[in-house]
Structure formats: structure tokens, C-alpha cells
Amino acid sequence: MAAVLELNKVCMDFGGLRALDEVSLRVEPSQIVALIGPNGAGKTTLFNCVTGIYDPTSGDVLLNAPGGESRRVNGLKPNKVTELGMARTFQNIRLFPSMTVLENVMVGCHCRMHASILGAVVKGPGARAEERRVVDFSYELLRLVGLTRWVNEISSNLPYGAQRRLEIARAMATEPYLVLLDEPAAGMNPQETDDLKELIVRIRDTWSKSILLIEHDMSLVMGISDRIYVMEYGRLIAEGSPKEVSENPAVIKAYLGEDLDA
């Protein structure tokens, strides 16, 4: 089966700085793929290249819908990429702070809705039904991430872990087949991390989505990833199963530094 997301030798230059150097990466359908590496390795830059916030200097980013349609997404606008079926969360939470929890998720449904200005004003049966469907769907998603008791709460009033989960629900609302999670466990306590782990696995198994995630929490990464890519200074230095990666000398070197006796 074709990979859902395929990066071929993607480079990204900022002036003279090469932030990504010929990065190639594949996410297979219904896989959890983790991207790890020390701070500043270029992981978030890679996310931004894939989601259309940056336009890669060279290389291809290919998005292959499970149905078969394949698209090169370099240089597409972020909203186009989302429409094609890739959603993301952000490293520093970017919710819509003064909107309610449910509304945050409903915004995610935007690109799957069709109500026009006139339709919204007249609010005929079609628009009403769509609106109701979106409310119900959003509610379902909130149930998935366990936020139903805060449905009508203003999102900035939520505890930190809940905000992270809300971001995931909002991303899911765009009905993606590939979800990009940028450090979903950052700032969570061990209990919350465990819940998150379970949630991510559930997204893969029951909703059969593919997931690409950046994470520093090794227990999470090693526990749930099907495949791990390791980056350092904008380059991929290793890839493989969690076991392979954790035994890879280059990875150990990148994380722990050079062995003195060697």
C-alpha cells in the first residue's frame, strides 16, 4: 500500500541556514510514526513544511489519500493542505481562547461544511441540518478525548492537559486521514501522558488514522510508535522500529554525547 505521507529529499533554507537537509520520510496508513531529536533539530520546521506554513526550498511532499489520489502539496496554502486531509496540532497550544470548547471543534468542521453567507442568514432546513450534524459530530469528538463535561466552557479556562486534548479533537474535526501532533505530551504529568498515549492509539485503531508525532517523552514514543525517525541538525540520522532506534549508536551519541573511551 502507498504511504499516506511521503517526503522526498525535502530541503528548507532560511537564508544561509539549512534547517532541513534532504529529509526523506514515509508514513504508512494506520501507523504511528514518531519524529524525535534534540531541540533545534528541525522537527517543527518539517511540520511547517508539510502543512504549508513554509514552502520547502526543494524536494517533494506527497500526500496520498487512502482512496488513491496523490497530491504534491509543496507551496499549497495551509488551509488547502487541511482540506486534502492532513490536520495538525501546535507545540505551543493554539486554541481559539475566547470561544467555547465545542465551538473550537466546530471551527475544525469548517472545511467540511458548505453553508454560504446567504444560507447562514436564511437558515433553511439544509443549513439547520448541517449545523446540527456539526454540533453532534463535534460532541462525539469531545467524547472521544474525554472533554464532554466542559462543552460550553470558554476554552482558555481549561486545564492544560485538557487544552492539549481539545487541540487533538479540533484537528480530528477536519476529518483528516493523517494527523500531525507537535509535542502533544509537553507539560503533561505522567497520568495525563498515559491517557494521551491511550488516546493516540485509539485514534489509530478505531478511527484508522495515520499519525505523525513529534515528542520528547521517550516512554510515549517508545511505547506506541510503529516507526521512529531521528533528526539532528536538520538531517535524518536514524530510522526504524523503537528497538532498532534505541540501540542505534548514532542516536545514543546525539542524545547522550560522545563516549569518552571511544
Q: Which of 5, 20, 34, 170 binds other proteins (CB under 8 A)?
A: 170
Using rule CB under 8 A, residue 71 touches other proteins? no
| Interface with other proteins, residue 110, by CB under 8 A | yes
Residue 97 DSSP label: T
Among 15, 67, 98, 206, which residue sits at the site for other proteins (rule: CB under 8 A)? 98
Cα–Cα distance between 39 and 75 in angstroms, integer?
26
CA separation for the pair 190, 77 (Å, rounded): 36
Asked whether position 75 contacts other proteins by CB under 8 A, the answer is: no
In the complex with other proteins, the residue whose CB is nearer, 39 or 98, is 98
Q: Where are the alpha helices (DSSP H) in the chain?
A: 43-51, 78-84, 101-108, 117-122, 125-145, 160-172, 190-205, 218-224, 242-247, 249-256
Given the DSSP bridges, would you call strands 86-88 and 178-182 parallel, antiparallel or unpaired?
Answer: parallel
Return the exposure string of 227-243: e unless at least 16 CB atoms fall within 10 Å of the residue's CB, then b.
bbbbbbebebbbbeebe
If one asks whether residue 149 binds other proteins (CB under 8 A), the answer comes out as: yes
Q: Which residues contact 38 (CB under 8 A, 6 or more apart)?
A: 232, 254, 255
Give me the 12-51 binding string for other proteins, x by CB under 8 A, dash otherwise: ---------------------------------------x
Q: Is 65 in the site for other proteins (CB under 8 A)?
A: no
Part in contact with other proteins (CB under 8 A); list of ranges 77-85, 203-211, 235-243, 245-253: 77-85
Kindly list the residues in this chain that would bind other proteins in the complex (CB under 8 A). 51, 53, 77-79, 82-83, 87-88, 90, 94-100, 102-103, 106-108, 110-113, 115, 117, 120-121, 123, 127, 131-132, 135-136, 139-140, 143-149, 151-152, 154, 165, 170-171, 173-174, 195, 198-199
